[in-house]
Amino acid sequence: MDPIATAREEYRGDVLTEETVDPDPLVQLRRWLEQAFAAELSEPNAATLATVDRDGWPDARIMLVRGVDERGVSFYTDGRSAKAAQLEAHPVATLVWHWQPLYRQVRLRGPVEPVPDEESEDYFASRPRASQVGTWASDQSAPIADRAALEAQVAELDDRFAEGEVPCPPHWVGYRVRAEEVEFWQGRPARLHDRLRFRRDGDGWALERLQP
């Protein structure tokens, strides 16, 4: 038998109920993120970002979320990248977190807006120096001849910024997904999972349980 077709794992996650979930889904998302960090999972802030290009084709990639608060979920990237071009064409996105050891998943979607420049610059300043130089050296998503060409660009920029701090490049940008819908998924035995979905309702949230 094909192992892809026959693979099975019994999910034995915690119970997720309307009474135990926080009434604010962004607070609940932070709670689950903190629990994933406490469980020492690898990069628990990694999420799949789904976007749509100018031709209507969906696209997705895994990236690192850098902020979750009442305003939404923020991340940073090269403003010349494919994801940035797609967000310019269609400023909406979906984020998905998956923490398999905890049998948990979160889906969040909503409109996307730019993060203020000062926030993007502050985050850039907090990055390791090598990552800062790499951001200058790489024209993200653009073709390049080979690995050696990329390393040569890095070496050139490393020399240029040998003295002092690495400045924030003009193409460095941040985005924030303003949550309009958030679904929390908790794996349970016999595939009878708990699914609670929040939707914007005026200034608050409406909560409903979904069938697994």
Cβ pair 43, 101 in contact under 8 A: no
Amino acid identity of residue 84, one-letter, is: A
Per DSSP, 100 falls in state G
How far apart, in whole angstroms, are the C-alpha atoms of residue 160 and residue 170? 16
Active site (annotated) includes residue 199? no
Yes or no: say if 46 and 33 are a contact pair by the CB < 8 Å rule: no
Given 191, 195, 197, 199, the catalytic residue: 191
CB atoms within 10 A of CB 158: 16
Residue 15 near residue 194 (C-beta atoms within 8 A): yes
Q: For the range 154-160, what are the long-range contacts, defined as Cβ-Cβ under 8 Å and sequence gap of 24 or more?
A: 157/133, 158/133
- Structural contact between residues 102 and 35, judged by C-beta atoms closer than 8 angstroms: yes
- For 56, left (φ over 0), alpha (ψ -120 to 50), or beta? left
Please give the C-alpha separations between residue 187 and each of 46, 159, 194, in angstroms, as whole numbers: 19, 51, 7
Q: Which residues are catalytic?
A: 191
